[in-house]
Amino acid sequence: MQERIIQFLKESDGYISGEEISHRLKMSRAAIWKHMQELRAQGYEIAAVPHLGYQLVASPDKLLGFEIQSDLNTKIIGKKIIVLETVTSTMDEAFRLGMENCPEGTVVCAEAQSKGRGRLGRVWSSPKSRGLYFSFVLRPSLPLNQLAQLTLMSAVALAEAIENISDLKPLIKWPNDILLGNHKLAGILTELRAESDQVKFVVVGIGLNVNASAHQLPSGSSSLKIGAGHSFDRAKVFQAILRSLEKWYVKLLHDEFDLVMDEWKRRSATLKKRVRITDPAGIIEGEAIDLDEDGALLIRKDNGIVIKKTAGDVFLLR
Ligand code: BTN
């Protein structure tokens, strides 16, 4: 019910009378007043003026499931959204949901993570309410060796969504970092549950720095706020990302991975650059010449030999 009240307040241009809300929601004015008190307790600033009614002055900087879901219009990703306060990692929560057979596309996000994790055992710093930290469950019928497609597709969707809601032009650093200039804005982590070579489900986790200031982030990081010079409504950013993820995931389901690849290459910060890549096998230097259909990076070493890398960390040299 509170969702409908917020919706009325948001839609109305100026004040909306208690009488009108009570008429439209078929509820007493005393009950409306009680809901207004509860909404204020949740952080909504609602002005009340006798004879005029109520007006929404400010919304809390808090992710609310119904706000994210309203007008989202996706069919898979975000059909179910769970918003939590502080968790260890949304990856753990999504795994639990995946094991409980949650519907495909279920999203779990949190205001903060006490043990946010990144690739290669790194920590993902998650300052409270300053970013978007979420994971979603997919059940694609892809063989294990093609699962990198999901990471590439997520990177494309994330970069596109950021471009749609801002003037920023993020690029993708192989395999899945989203960069603003040479600072990291977002990261993607893909984990899976498989049984005897069969993929049961995949969890994709996304961490995006939204309204964090430089002192709240590890060095070398950026945020939408740092890049654009103003804060963002996290619910709106979230919606844009979920819509874009749906768009690109549907392309994957329709066997259109070539479109994902084209878009990844167009947004790449890595291809045609001289790179150094480290992994447990050692260090390789050369030119990043292409991406193959498994998402591996092809590097031409100075002696002309082309090496295929499926994992590791890339440093852009020039
Ligand atoms: C990386 O760049 O190394 C990947 C970072 C992924 C971070 C996100 S935040 C939401 C989800 N929960 C986690 O613990 N990690 C991912």
Tens of pLDDT along the chain (318 residues) come to 787 888 889 888 889 998 999 998 899 989 999 999 999 988 899 999 999 999 999 888 889 888 899 889 999 999 999 999 999 999 999 999 999 999 999 999 999 999 999 998 899 999 999 999 999 999 998 888 888 899 999 999 999 999 999 999 999 999 889 999 999 999 999 999 988 778 899 999 999 999 999 999 999 999 999 999 999 999 999 999 999 999 999 999 999 999 999 999 999 999 999 999 987 778 899 999 999 988 899 999 999 999 999 888 899 987
Q: Which residues of 169-202 are buried (b: 16+ CB within 10 A; e: fewer)?
A: ebbbbbbbbbbbeebbbbbbbbbbeeeeeebebb
**Residue identifier of the C-alpha nearest atom 11 of ligand 1:** 205
79 and 154 belong to one structural domain: yes
Pick from 133, 202, 314 the residue to mutate for probing ligand 1's pocket: most ligand atoms within 8 Å of its CB: 133
Residues 6+ apart with CB under 8 A from 226: 180, 183, 209, 212, 213, 214
Residue type present at position 112: A
Model confidence pLDDT, tens digit, residues 272-302: 999 999 877 788 999 999 999 888 999 999 9
Q: For residues 36 and 116, give the distance between their C-alpha atoms in angstroms, rounded to a whole number.
A: 35
Question: How far does residue 68's CA lie from ligand 1's centre (Å)?
Answer: 20
309 and 293 belong to one structural domain: yes
Please count the residues of the chain.
318
169 and 303 belong to one structural domain: no
Q: What's residue 263's pLDDT? A: 96
Q: What's residue 11's pLDDT? A: 82
Q: Please name which of 63, 103, 61 lies closest in space to residue 85, comparing C-alpha atoms.
A: 63
Q: Please name which of 52, 34, 44, 43 lies closest in space to residue 10, comparing C-alpha atoms.
A: 44
Q: Which residues line ligand 1 (CB under 6 A)?
A: 89-91, 113, 116-119, 122, 124, 133-135, 177, 187-189, 205-207
Which atom of ligand 1 lies nearest, measured to the CA of 116? Answer: 14
H helix intervals, the chain: 2-11, 18-25, 29-41, 65-69, 90-99, 148-165, 224-228, 234-253, 257-266
Question: How far does residue 135's CA lie from ligand 1's centre (Å)?
Answer: 8
State the total domains in the chain: 3
CB count within 10 Å of CB 253 equals 13
Pick from 189, 210, 217 the residue to mutate for probing ligand 1's pocket: most ligand atoms within 8 Å of its CB: 189
Q: What's residue 12's pLDDT? A: 84
CATH number of the domain enclosing 229: 3.30.930.10
122 and 44 belong to one structural domain: no
For 50, the domain range is 2-58
Mean pLDDT, rounded, of the chain: 93
Residue type present at position 44: Y
Q: What's residue 270's pLDDT? A: 95
Rg of the chain, C-alpha, whole Å: 22
224 and 306 belong to one structural domain: no
Whether the bond into 143 is cis, omega within 30 of 0: no
Q: Please name which of 208, 202, 288 lies closest in space to residue 240, comparing C-alpha atoms.
A: 208
Question: How far does residue 190's CA lie from ligand 1's centre (Å)?
Answer: 9
96 and 211 belong to one structural domain: yes
Q: Which residues of 16-50 are buried (b: 16+ CB within 10 A; e: fewer)?
A: bebeebbeeeebeeeebeebbeebeeeebebeeee
Residue that terminates a domain, selected from 37, 58, 79:
58
Residue type present at position 157: A
22 and 155 belong to one structural domain: no
Q: What's residue 73's pLDDT? A: 93
Question: How far does residue 145's CA lie from ligand 1's centre (Å)?
Answer: 21
Q: What's residue 293's pLDDT? A: 82
